[in-house]
Structure 1
């Protein structure tokens, strides 16, 4: 029994050594690469994306429109309900610019509010804030030349959006309805020292032609990361807060043109809103 134990004692280390040598690659041979599964940044790999087409609008005859009023609104992305407009990974302005670059939608000039003039190449550059002139030195002869370099697009410069819409009374449906016509991101303009000066509309997007694209783009849904809400859903359900800044009038004035302080502007906006609601009751009474 003692002899058997000594035999195992001297044979086991040699066996372990041969096993280790069998697993090590030979010197100079290529290392064997192990394949790893592709990481999925979610609990499921086949998360269904927003692909539902935009629902067709209700047919509307000119004879059924008994009354209509054109309204301009502003949406401030700093308000809590409007935070999806400034969702850092993909804010709305980035979505619109990328869709235009891909040929999915058309951007229109802000020369008017009628979607008559597509943006030129120079105006597309102005969305980024123009271009900077950069000096280029040739190392061979030290000659200097200048080149215009477009500035990088910064979505943080767009904190508010302008909506153009028409509120109308549909006689066939017997109700007041609202149709969004256009969306215009408002760009903040600063001076050389970084002080805020004013905001200007960067471009117009004709909303009825952009609905199909917006129906395939997901809008962040607060409180539910598995939510499948599209931007078209957000606009059609009017899941945003906005302030009226203008209604169509004979003088083409904005509320700021005849009301100086903020409180008066809010009261005027509420008066316009209440007047539009009263029109629905007038439609029923007549």
Structure 2
């Protein structure tokens, strides 16, 4: 009888342990964007890294095929209410679909009169009085309030800049290094003529786990285009899993939360530091296998 009770207690304990582990992983995935979270007990090494992805690069063009741009897939999913956007990669504050639409739009500079011209008494010639007889006498100048300039949405081809946040994790149970993607941020590039600020502007940040779900649910749109074989196009989720894209490191976790170009004093120095950071991580992984 005692043996039976002991066995029952052991089985119950194992069941609770497995359930707790599953719950912990599910909570981790829902909170930080990880698609396949690794339990903390299995992590020997972890480093958080931010990578820039330029979709104009040759290796990244399969994600940016005409009509199948990843930027189009993401923004369309937000419009349909299938994808939640966040203000930044901390994932603590959400954005509405209207706010995302506003972030992915620009205001055209007004071609009308300046405020100084309006204050001086000039009015906009709308052409409404074309052919009308001139009135005698001097009419008082009309004060015309400047009209709000029109707003336009960026084309998907304009939005070629993304930033990926990942944890590089060495799993001691499986004895291998993992790229655990957390978030992807869609950006307005600084080089666009319509972006008058001259700096990259975030449109929205998205959990990687949410993006995988959207990519899988839209296989006819979320395509990684295989330029060598039309019969072997892949889903965008598979492209990220297989790391079929090029990127470069722009930030490695540090006490000041500073980007590499800020740490090393310039864009050129930041590029060199990015290459060095990538080499250091490869060397670290190699050294783990050497001992």
Fold similarity call, TM over 0.5: yes
CA root-mean-square deviation: 3.3
Distance 1:156 1:268 in 2: 29
Aligned to 1:180: 181
Q: Which runs of 5+ in 2 are unaligned?
A: 1-33, 113-125, 129-143
User: Is 1:102 aligned with 2:80?
Assistant: yes
Count matched residues. Answer: 224
Structure with higher Rg: it is 1
Change (3 A) 1:121 1:131: farther
Matching residue within 91, 100, 104 for 1:128: 104
Change (3 A) 1:145 1:186: closer
Query: In the alignment, is the contact (CA less than 8 A) between 1:133 and 1:146 conserved in 2?
Result: no
SS in 2 for 1:226: helix
How far off is 1:76 after superposition? 1.1
Query: In the alignment, is the contact (CA less than 8 A) between 1:218 and 1:228 conserved in 2?
Result: yes
Aligned to 2:281: 276
User: Is 1:221 aligned with 2:226?
Assistant: yes
How far off is 1:247 after superposition? 0.3
**Alignment deviations for residues 167-197 of structure 1 (CA, whole Å, 9 cap, x no partner):** 0110111111111111112203579888782
How far off is 1:265 after superposition? 2.7
Matching residue within 34, 43, 49 for 1:71: 49
Aligned pairs (5 A) from 1:1-286: 60-110=38-88, 113-120=89-96, 123-130=99-106, 150-189=151-190, 197-215=198-216, 216=219, 217-260=222-265, 263-284=268-289
SS in 1 for 2:48: strand
Of the two structures, which has the highest relative contact order with CA contacts closer than 8 Å and spacing of 6 or more? 2
Bigger fraction of residues in helix: 2
Distance 1:266 1:199 in 2: 17
Distance 1:147 1:271 in 2: 48
Aligned to 1:27: none
Query: In the alignment, is the contact (CA less than 8 A) between 1:125 and 1:150 conserved in 2?
Result: no
Change (3 A) 1:163 1:101: same
Change (3 A) 1:244 1:144: closer
How far off is 1:61 after superposition? 1.7
Q: TM-score, normalised by structure 2?
A: 0.66
Change (3 A) 1:130 1:263: closer
Query: In the alignment, is the contact (CA less than 8 A) between 1:74 and 1:243 conserved in 2?
Result: yes
Distance 2:78 2:196 in 1: 30
SS in 2 for 1:198: coil
Query: In the alignment, is the contact (CA less than 8 A) between 2:35 and 2:181 conserved in 1?
Result: no
Distance 1:83 1:193 in 2: 23
